[in-house]
């Protein structure tokens, strides 16, 4: 039945494979505990090695949890529609086991949460790394909302669901809570999302829509800027929620107090403050006042272009005179899958290049 539903949805993932139970046992060495990558509420993720020696991640849902099975089906249906370099790729599934298994590409660098808040990663992400991650995640969400064959709302954007590979390239993961609504403007749903990232409008309207993802992304952007968790009960009462803490600091012109000391310097203050403005816009209480993700991605792309150009001018000051009379938008040698409309300052997303 699942295969029929995937076929009926018009899967764009032509490499999707159905694995046997024996394939999964061999890949995980009998689900050996040494192969466990992580355990969360949705189940256990194992490191798997296929016969061709390729490494994969295998997610095993909890036994006897019908809701998790539904999320499994939902994730297969959603990810079968997506082929984007900043979305974790679903390689296949196994339907022979007592609980269903999902097989993903293996992302070796851990989650963004691990890099920002964990103890496993000693080296700090630079501001350039953080801005690039924000751009990649924003572009992926914009693609889900506007570029996928069927509009997709993720509904659980958070730093734990953003994986980083060995090159710190971001991959949006965990689509179990996602929706492919018939009416893309809004939908009624059961409680989804994570405290600290959940759209505040949900508490009064019981509705989630594309602007809910915008809110969650705004929280992620605040984490990238501040290095602080979205929700922390160790902070004072007025600052437990990062959004309220961040917005108040911005209003009172003391944003410098919460910017991560490991990234702030004289050269990037302006860029970080611009990114902070975008984060605040994304987390406005009313969804209708938030920008669309494609607009957010465009603003961050423009910010990177300005930063790259500024750095290039500092490196090659003798070229300033030539640049003053030109229409150059980004520095020579800088390439991107997204171009710019210099008059409208809006990114033009090349969907094919993003896949």
Catalytic residues: 156
Q: C-alpha distances in angstroms, 135 versus 22, 138, 141, 233, 289?
A: 40, 5, 10, 29, 21
Asked if 280 contacts 132 with a C-beta cutoff of 8 angstroms, the reply is no
Give the number of other CB atoms < 10 A from CB of residue 142: 25
Let me know if 291 is exposed, middle or buried by CB neighbors in 10 A (0-12, 13-18, 19+).
middle
Q: How far is CA 334 from CA 113, 265, 311, 313, in A?
A: 28, 23, 12, 13
Q: Give the whole-angstrom CA distance, residue 209 versus residue 62.
A: 28
Contact 309, 330 (CB under 8 A): yes
Among residues 71, 72, 84, 76, which one has the least CA distance to residue 144?
A: 84
Cα-based angle 174, 155, 353 (whole degrees, multiple of 5): 65
What Rg do the C-alpha atoms of the chain give, in angstroms? 21
Four-residue CA torsion sign, 133, 136, 139, 144 = negative
List the beta bridge partners of residue 58.
46, 103
DSSP H helical ranges for the chain: 2-8, 21-27, 66-79, 112-117, 127-142, 202-205, 210-226, 242-251, 269-282, 293-315, 320-324, 351-354
Residue 18 belongs to what H/E stretch? strand 17-19
- Backbone φ, ψ for residue 347 (5° rounding): -75, 140
Taken in order 312, 315, 320, 322, the sign of the CA dihedral is negative
């Amino acid at each position: 039945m699942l295969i029929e539903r995937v076929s009926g949805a018009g899967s764009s993932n032509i490499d999707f494979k159905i694995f046997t139970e024996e394939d999964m046992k061999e890949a995980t060495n009998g689900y050996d505990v040494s192969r466990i990558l992580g355990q969360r509420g949705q189940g256990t993720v194992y490191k798997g090695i296929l016969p061709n020696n390729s490494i994969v991640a295998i997610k095993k849902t909890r036994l006897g949890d019908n809701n998790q099975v539904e999320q499994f089906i939902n994730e297969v249906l959603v990810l079968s529609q997506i082929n984007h370099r900043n979305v974790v790729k679903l390689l296949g599934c196994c339907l022979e086991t007592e609980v269903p298994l999902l097989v993903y590409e293996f992302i070796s660098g851990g989650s963004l949460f691990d890099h920002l808040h964990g103890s496993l990663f000693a080296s700090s992400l630079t501001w350039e790394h953080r801005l690039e991650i924000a751009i990649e995640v924003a572009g992926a969400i914009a693609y889900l909302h506007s570029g996928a064959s069927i509009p997709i709302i993720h509904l659980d954007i958070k730093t734990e669901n953003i994986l980083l590979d060995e090159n710190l390239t971001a991959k949006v993961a965990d689509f179990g809570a996602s929706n492919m609504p018939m009416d893309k403007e809004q939908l009624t749903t059961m409680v989804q999302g994570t405290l600290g990232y959940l759209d505040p409008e949900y508490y009064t309207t019981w509705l989630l829509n594309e602007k809910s993802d915008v809110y969650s992304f705004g929280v992620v952007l605040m984490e990238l800027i501040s290095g602080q968790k979205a929700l922390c009960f160790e902070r004072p009462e007025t600052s437990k929620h990062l959004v309220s803490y961040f917005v108040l600091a911005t209003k009172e012109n003391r944003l410098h107090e919460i910017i991560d000391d490991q990234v702030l310097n004289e050269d990037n203050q302006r860029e970080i403050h611009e990114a902070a403005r975008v984060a605040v816009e994304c987390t406005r209480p009313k969804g209708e006042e938030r920008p669309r993700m494609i607009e957010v991605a465009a603003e961050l792309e423009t910010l990177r272009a300005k930063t790259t150009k500024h750095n290039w001018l500092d490196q090659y000051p003798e070229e300033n005179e030539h640049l003053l009379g030109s229409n150059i938008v980004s520095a020579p040698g800088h390439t991107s899958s997204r171009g710019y409309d210099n008059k409208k300052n809006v990114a033009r997303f090349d969907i094919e290049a993003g896949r």
